[in-house]
Amino acid sequence: MASAILQSIPSESRPGRFGIYGGRYVPETLVAALDELEREYAVAKADPAFQAELADLLHNYAGRPTPLYFAKRLTESLGGAKIYLKREDLLHTGAHKINNALGQGLLARRMGKRRVIAETGAGQHGVATATVCALLGMECVIYMGEVDMARQELNVLRMRLLGAEVRGVSAGSKTLKDAISEAMCDWVTTVRTTHYLLGSALGAHPYPTMVRDFHRCISIEMKQQIVEREGRLPAAVIACVGGGSNAIGAFYEFLADRHVRLIGVEAGGRGTVLGEHAVRFAGGLPGVLQGTYSYVLQDENGQIAQTHSVSAGLDYASIGPEHAALHDTGRAEYVSQDDAAALDAVARLARTEGILPALESAHAVAEAIRIAPNMPAHDILVVNLSGRGDKDMGILARELRLQGV
């Protein structure tokens, strides 16, 4: 039985590949830097001193372990399955992003890189990176699309207060895809002195594996906590999926537990027409984008499609390669929730539990709200609440007013 289970999990026997997905599609200039990063990460994983320093920072600085909270009033209002929330929103800087930022920040210092660049969409990865650079005394430059800067103004101010330079990106859709492109252009010309602190489980090898590993703490804790609370594993783990970092962190320790459903929730946006959503598995095809081979939203000519989501962090045309493999093997399910459902989920969770989720996380909450009433009362759903909604107050005030909420 165990061998059959393991055979169904995407193989990493070829470094950087998850089945057919992943790989390294970058300019020759970056190959040496990626090789160096791969080597240093392998050494750091086996270094007790590195692991001890990271564990200390995750506990005493970031605030791990995060609580697993039973959402009693939300559960009672819906009927059906019990809903638990993994409270990544309680971490320092307000989201799961600090896990990976701390890990990569320590790696950058280990490699002697004193300048760090990063991309950001919702701003939470940018804030986490700026925070770690301040902590470690590093120069920090954050690339952010101008559309995202306008809708996430609070996080722009936070990054600048932390000492980061925020560079607006005016090309393309002026969102996350374009911020990644600009960060990669910077890295090509400054590779000897700069570390690119990529924020999601995508990009060229070794980033998808490395980012996943830095977020595995989510599912390690989640698994232990739910067994302590309920004496058994959940029926399903639910997480929103943009690039896929919080979701792969929440899923990973459950991959071999075939009876646990793994549900990733993409951004349904405001319609089903290409350009109105970010549902890669419903509207995308395999292709290469920004260093990796995965599912990509593209038009009939193979050009990268525009995307839309009310949440900046899910507004991206591709998805991490490990998620692509999990989708194709059927080990994880990928669904979508639209803007309206996410906004409704924010209001419902706020008013039943006094918890204001990030709009990204609200997509996962919306899926729990949808499926819980039709499940037996003894079933358990765990939602990874990847971030808090303070950053979204401007958007929420406008959108909920339009809806009359």
Catalytic residues: 97, 119, 386
Report d(CA 310, CA 267) in Å as an integer. Answer: 8
Quickly list DSSP for 259-323: TSEEEEEEEEET-SSTTS-B-HHHH-EEEEETTEEEEE-B-TTSPBPP---SSGGG--SB--HHH
Phi, psi of 314 (to 5 degrees): -105, 0
Residue that the structure tokens 């209001």 belong to: 347
78 CB contacts (<8 Å, ≥6 apart)? Answer: 369, 372, 373
> Within a 10 A sphere around the Cβ of 333, how many other Cβ atoms?
16
Report d(CA 69, CA 357) in Å as an integer. Answer: 14
Say whether 405 sits in a helix, a strand or coil: coil
> Within a 10 A sphere around the Cβ of 328, how many other Cβ atoms?
17
Q: Cβ distance 99 to 235 under 8 Å?
A: no
- Compute the Cα dihedral for 322, 213, 234, 247 and give only its sign: negative
Report d(CA 52, CA 64) in Å as an integer. Answer: 14
Phi, psi of 58 (to 5 degrees): -60, -35
334 CB contacts (<8 Å, ≥6 apart)? Answer: 241, 263, 264, 265, 266, 281, 323, 327
Q: Cβ distance 320 to 248 under 8 Å?
A: yes
| Closest to 219 measured CA to CA, from 68, 346, 351, 56 | 68
Backbone torsion region of residue 93, taken as left when φ is above 0, otherwise alpha when ψ lies between -120 and 50, otherwise beta: left
Report d(CA 74, CA 350) in Å as an integer. Answer: 10
